[in-house]
A and B are shown apart, each in its own frame.
Chain A
Amino acid sequence: MHEPVKFHFNVDGENFSSAGEASVMVKKKLRQLGFPPDVMRRVSIAMYEGEINMVIHADGGSADVTVEDEYIEIVLADKGPGIPNIDLAMQEGYSTARDNIRALGFGAGMGLPNMKKYTDYMHIDTEVGVGTTITMRVNI
């Protein structure tokens, strides 16, 4: 038996422009570990979207990635405003992103739907005023 490989990142909420760095790092590590392109792509998309959401909607948070035997798990936790209506937030095109954020290319309302689409498991645990934790798994 071997210990699962783990990565931990603090995601800075101040800096929109460098957002995505944790995802780029994870992709590099997965490549070094020899994962197939399809797995890397799905993990990258899901983690990038979640990471960006923490930056633009929740003032940052943390990202933990664990490589288990059968799947890669990504846990994104923030102490932001929470998501009042998950069903609404999950709809393609729904976004509360403000204009200054939209000007950067965000706000299509496709982040959460992408996370769902590219992972095999996704769970959102959220409480208004407390924060949001999203757990996703991509099967290996």
Chain B
Amino acid sequence: MMNLSQLANDVGEVGAVCVRGGGTRWDVGGAAGDVQVVMAPTGIDSFDPAEMTVVVGAGTTLSELADALAARGQEVALDGPPGATIGGALMVGRSPLRRGRLGEVADVLLQADCVGADGQVFVAGGPTVKNVSGYDLCRLLVGSLGTLAVVGRVILRTRPMPEDSAWMSGEVPLKVVLQSVYRPATVLWDGRQTTVRVEGHGADVNNEVDLLGGLGLERVDQPVLPRERDRWSGFLPSGGVLEVGAGVVHQLERPSPPAVAAGVRVLGDRMREAFDPRRRFNPGRDPHRVAA
């Protein structure tokens, strides 16, 4: 079992600290500033396909994890660019593009072994796929940008990989496409083209591909989306792509900071204060500044 005492030592009891994962989203929610940078442990502790869970260091890269899971026919609902780590993906907290099948990032973290602002190790959540023992610290941690705790080791929910899949795209109204497919993994809309990913059993995917083909959609490669993200506000900026059902627009421009209701911000600030009264963790960053 992975030992967190090294990480707890690195974090210590005083001074500003932040974890560097792959650095691929280093600027999200603000600059790191003058902090001591620590690294989370790496490596896969254990993986049992019959449990659909994996125990892994938060510093492990997504690609290393994906390879290990794929070897046994499973995968996890985390997405990110090359070099991104599990800890980083969880702390940035963006759901994978295939959320329609794979699920949301909020539902992936079952247990997190953390170091708190007092330098003590604590465990959030539990190892099983279902758990309501006490408060849901795991969901609170996902998307918290490392401002509440340093995450060392995690237990994640895995899923079987689909047998087959296809991306289809065409100038067909969104509603028509939505009515023709069952639980699509992804639906994208750029103002003209509707792009959909279907996945599942081979014969079912073939049938859906035929049906969508009949509507005028064609097989395409996985689309490359613009890097920035904003909340869907009812209109599409030029070059933007809407992730339907997710409320996210993938776009070229950096989004402006989102509006946050006063009451929500007060509660959020109180949460940060409760976990990290001296603001040791990622002092330069604030999840309220992340748009989508």
A binds B: no
